[in-house]
A and B are shown apart, each in its own frame.
Chain A
Amino acid sequence: MIRGLWSRETVAMVLLAAYLPLGLFWLWLGGVDAIGRLGLSALVVAFWHLVFMLARAQAPSLAALITAFAIAMLAPEDLGVFRLALGISFGVVMGELVFGGWGRNVVNPATVALAFLGFGFPSFAWPIFDAPVAWAAIPAALIGVLTGALSAALLGGAGAVALIALAAGLLPQDALLVSGIVLVLLVADPVTSAATHLGRWINGALYASLVVLFATNWTGAAPVQIAVAAALLSSLAAPLLDEKVLALWIYQRRRRHGRT
């Protein structure tokens, strides 16, 4: 990699490029309704980025588009403009912007917004995805891994657990498809997932295990709800995983070399 090429915005642009196949497929199948949702959430996210730029001099990021896309795609349906705007505002402000903008947040703003909408308005139905949209997550993951924006270890960890669960017959088809989309869109986000190599494997495996756990034991939950809850919990656990992996590394170095 060329030194000086990679800044925060480069990562955001590469991520956007990676999500392009997923987004185009979704827009193609969703039609005017999908375009309207994407436009609305992009507008709300952009508004808050603008507010924080003017009030706190926080540089806005292209990642706003990724957040808007993830929310538009996964948010419960028929919420109406006001509720959707409220949920997005909460997620973007409390999940990302108060911490200092994209790159400093602990949880993915889209995950926060989706969890807020899910818990706050439980009577609205979660979206259902056709298989082609879910398959489009695979090229997205490939582009992300090849350019280095998405972690191969994280996807590998999740994939390994998913394969075991599939072999054991624990993972239903619809949960598998949706959790794949959520894995690529929310869990693999380079900011809020684990940053160490082993931590990424565990992070992915943890996400997939949570999905399996919820899919088998959470009765009456929609697939998207399961995946979003698992994404929220695994991104909250990511700093802990990093901490433990670093502690393990320090311990091993001390045993081998007698010092850190």
Chain B
Amino acid sequence: MAAQLNVWRTLTDPLIRQNPVTLQILGICSALAVTTTLATALTMSISLTVVLTLAAGVISMIRRHIPDTIRLIVQIVIVASLVIVIDQILRAYFAEISRALSVYVGLITTNCLVLGRTESYARHHAPIPAMVDALGNGLGYSLILIVIGGLRELFGKGALFGTQVFPLAETGGWFTPLSLMLLAPSAFFLLGLLVWAVRSFWSEQVEAPEHTPPLRVEPAE
């Protein structure tokens, strides 16, 4: 356990330097599925951040009482009950977005990002640091989701949050929507490009090469 908590570092490290999506490649499934529009991406980000922070707090509070052999079940039960609460709130107040998100709010339960943080951090730290770390990771996840969701909605529909930004060609403007942006592969490409951009700015994130190319290429016979 860290002797002294550096709140600011714990909170801001997961934003880019230790980003759960672009560095650890966690939580990809939902990041790809819910980013067709900015509204769903934002709702998903808030839900995940809330669930992650609360779950980390609860698990950290009872961390000395969880038997090691059944710790995963205990964690999943806690996460799942929080997810159900969030899901019910979304259905009650944001029915439209809840329908658009379909199963993905429920799937926060099995999101590897949530289990990863509770398993690796909250189980070994006091509630406050655990919740700060969870909040930071939730914000890091949200950052990526909002960037990708914004790009996909902007270029796929020419809109942001449902309001038209680029005038569409159908109504006399100049913008023809890239319908590929609304399909799942584009999220893969955007995420890949984002990881590439992040790793060219923060080159310490680049993984060590697995192969060394030959120094001089020998012409074949």
Contacts and interface: CB of A to CB of B under 8 A. Distances in A.
B216 to A, nearest CB: 12
A5 B179 contact: no
B208 interface: no
Interface string B164-194: 0000000000001011110101000100100
A98 B189 CA distance: 13
Query: Chain B contact residues (Cβ within 8 angstroms of A): what range?
Result: 10 to 19
A119 B221 contact: no
A1 B180 contact: no
Interface residues of A, number: 17
A243 to B, nearest CB: 17
Interface string B126-148: 00000000000000000000000
Nearest to A90: B189
A28 interface: no
Nearest to A1: B221
Nearest to B220: A6
Contact of A3 (B180, B217, B221): B221
* Most A Cβ at <10 Å: residue of B179, B181, B183, B220: B220
B219 interface: yes
17 contacts: A1-B221, A3-B219, A4-B219, A5-B219, A6-B220, A7-B217, A7-B219, A7-B220, A83-B176, A94-B192, A98-B196, A116-B180, A119-B183, A120-B179, A121-B176, A121-B179, A122-B179
Given A4-B219, A8-B217, A121-B179, 13 more contacts: A1-B221, A3-B221, A5-B219, A6-B219, A7-B217, A7-B219, A7-B220, A100-B213, A119-B180, A119-B183, A120-B179, A121-B178, A122-B179
Closest 8 CB pairs of A and B: A120-B180, A7-B219, A3-B221, A119-B180, A6-B220, A4-B219, A120-B178, A6-B219
